[in-house]
Structure 1
């Protein structure tokens, strides 16, 4: 088995960045989902679930961590990383509330134009990161702005089996993984507890619960009329009302991983 793809999403719900190598830190892949778009009025987070226009947001990171925003029809914008205590704004992501630095008026205006709604852009420094959902992981584990966990892994064999059942190919990026592993049987990752990639070990914490976002074409933002792949997943991957695909992970320590590295199941 080997690591066949690496993806990060600098802004939650933006386009994926395909990586060859990545540093891994306490919050997952370095630079992954450290930025978040929130409603200006109440700080509630926005995602493609309700705002498919976010599929057209391309975000990349510069050498000092600065954010470059691009989308068709608007001039690119570079956004500096705010200080840990700069212009703190209360935000809500699912059941979590936290105070994080606001990225400034220029970024807010740029994103408000994209979405046609007053929004703000916020940043999550490691010092202000969230705890994981109760009952999962260690007390030292943290997450920035993913739905709940630092990393998401999916086996290529699992997607291949899903596509076989659907009868057409669905893009891996519909499921927004960080790590894609090739060479395992379909859904083998369901049985893993600890794995090693390079010099780093990762703990498998819980299955990923899937939602309507998977029915959006990651390139166009258009929703599939037949509700695929969610419709087929529900026929064989539903457990107690949740549709499961992929596994959430946390890393033990920091290091670097790269596409092509072997993946070893330790437990």
Structure 2
């Protein structure tokens, strides 16, 4: 029987900005604690993404005890501190793909910082506890809710899946191109495609659907420069229904703490 071990945990506090590697994380109803609870939106409330604005890759987030620190990787402006306990600002109706929900502006001064950093209007909003954004009912199992993530609370990718891709590339790419929450070692490439339910520690996860990949995977997260790879190569062997698949979107049952080194126990395969 294959042994699968959790090797990395990532959160992305502000949607589409740099991620944070953790030793352990708290699984909550909407996903990992502090994962995509903040988001940048335009003047109409539409979410901003590296898909259209590759310069967002140059903004890195750090987790601190009292809040988030955001800095520019090329040090083009002073770092920004975003306290967790700031008073909620104005209510904003925001749109993520086909979903519309209520968020709150964090602070107008913080909006000015992001607007300057990105060279376009960029309002930082936070998802209040009162907002209940539902997972797509087609793939939900128990009316699960999600943060500002694209559609699901979690994404898992096997290290062997990336290793196989990199064996086909002239220049290997790091895992940060794919923005997973969980990375595991062990098994065959794309073993995660075959899972239906599994546990990490005491928490049960269920595969919702494969993750369709976009041009974000082609952006170097250190430079913001976009190329054709790895999407071009992935398309040669991972295309299903005209979409390029890499990784599995997940929903879950239960809350608690998981940490690197935990075993992934597969309960049921597809």
Partner of 1:136: 139
* Mapped contact 1:15–1:59 kept (Cα < 8 A): yes
The 5 A counterparts of 1:18-33 are: 18-33=21-36
**How far does the alpha carbon of each residue in 1:76-102 deviate from its partner, in whole angstroms, 9 at most, with x for none?**
222234779742101111111111111
**1:261 aligned residue:** 262
Q: Of 58, 61, 70, which residue of structure 2 is paired with 1:59?
A: 61
Q: Over residues 117-167 of structure 1, what are the superposed CA-to-partner deviations in whole Å (9 max), with x where a residue is unaligned?
A: 122100012331410123112343111111100000000011111111224
Given that 1:82 and 1:103 are in contact with CA atoms closer than 8 Å, whether structure 2 keeps it comes out as no
Other-structure match for 1:35: 38
Structure-2 residue corresponding to 1:112:
115
SS of aligned partner of 1:180? strand
- Separation of aligned partners in 1, 2:32 and 2:141: 18
Please report the RMSD computed on the Cα atoms of aligned residues, expressed in angstroms: 1.5
Q: 2:140 and 2:88 mapped to 1: Cα distance? A: 27
TM score, norm. by length of structure 1: 0.94
CA contact 1:80–1:103 (8 Å) conserved in 2? no
- Secondary structure of the residue that 2:140 maps to in structure 1? coil
Q: Which runs of 5+ in 2 are unaligned?
A: none
CA positional deviation for 1:69: 1.8
Output one character per residue of 1:17-73: Cα deviation in whole Å (capped at 9) or x when no partner.
01111011011111011100000x201110111111111111123334x22222212
* Contact 2:217–2:231 under 8 Å retained in 1: yes
Task: State the match for 2:251 in structure 1.
Answer: 250
Aligned counterpart for 1:170 among listed residues 161, 168, 173 = 173
2:50 counterpart residue number: 48
Question: What is the deviation of 1:105?
Answer: 0.7
Give the secondary structure class of the aligned counterpart of 2:232.
Answer: helix
Gaps in structure 1 of 5+ consecutive residues: none
Give the TM-score, by structure 2 length. 0.93
What SS does the aligned partner of 2:120 have? Answer: coil
Corresponding position: 1:95 with 2:98: yes
SS of 2:251 mapped into structure 1 = strand
- Paired position in structure 2 for 1:194: 197
